[in-house]
């Protein structure tokens, strides 16, 4: 696995994990009993904690990537080679 392929795989894993982590611990204004007033969306999160979620996403993605990298490097799963005509 080359470095560009590794970065592409890591970023794909990172985005997938981000969308899985985003809803964790979110409480809307409606659930918290806070009145947003006119023009506010009652389903908007009170405190989304994005920095914490980005950090969580990063370490979970690193663990998942490490497992995938080890599987590919040690040949536990054989991946088909690309056609040589390209």
Angle at 22 between CA 16 and CA 28, to 5 degrees: 155
Give the pair of three-digit tokens for residue 48. 């989304």
**What is the distance in angstroms between the CA of the first residue and the CA of the last residue of the chain?**
18
Q: What is the pLDDT of residue 78?
A: 77
Does residue 83 contact residue 12 with C-beta atoms inside 8 Å?
A: no
Domain ranges in the chain? 3-73
Q: What is the pLDDT of residue 85?
A: 58
Q: What is the pLDDT of residue 84?
A: 63
Does residue 17 contact residue 61 with C-beta atoms inside 8 Å?
A: yes
Phi/psi at 21 (5° precision): -85, -30
Task: Summarize the confidence of residues 50-61 as an average pLDDT.
Answer: 95
| Region of poorest pLDDT, from 9-23, 49-63, 65-79 | 65-79
pLDDT tens-digit readout, 6-47: 999 999 999 999 999 999 988 887 777 887 777 778 788 888
């Amino acid at each position: 696995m080359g470095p560009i392929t590794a970065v592409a795989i890591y970023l794909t894993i990172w985005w997938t994990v981000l969308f899985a982590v985003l809803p964790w611990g979110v409480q809307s204004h409606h659930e918290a009993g806070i009145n947003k007033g006119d023009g506010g969306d009652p389903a908007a999160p009170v405190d989304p904690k994005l920095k914490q979620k980005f950090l969580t996403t990063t370490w979970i993605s690193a663990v998942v990537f490490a497992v995938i990298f080890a599987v590919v490097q040690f040949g536990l799963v054989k991946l088909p080679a690309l056609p040589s005509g390209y």
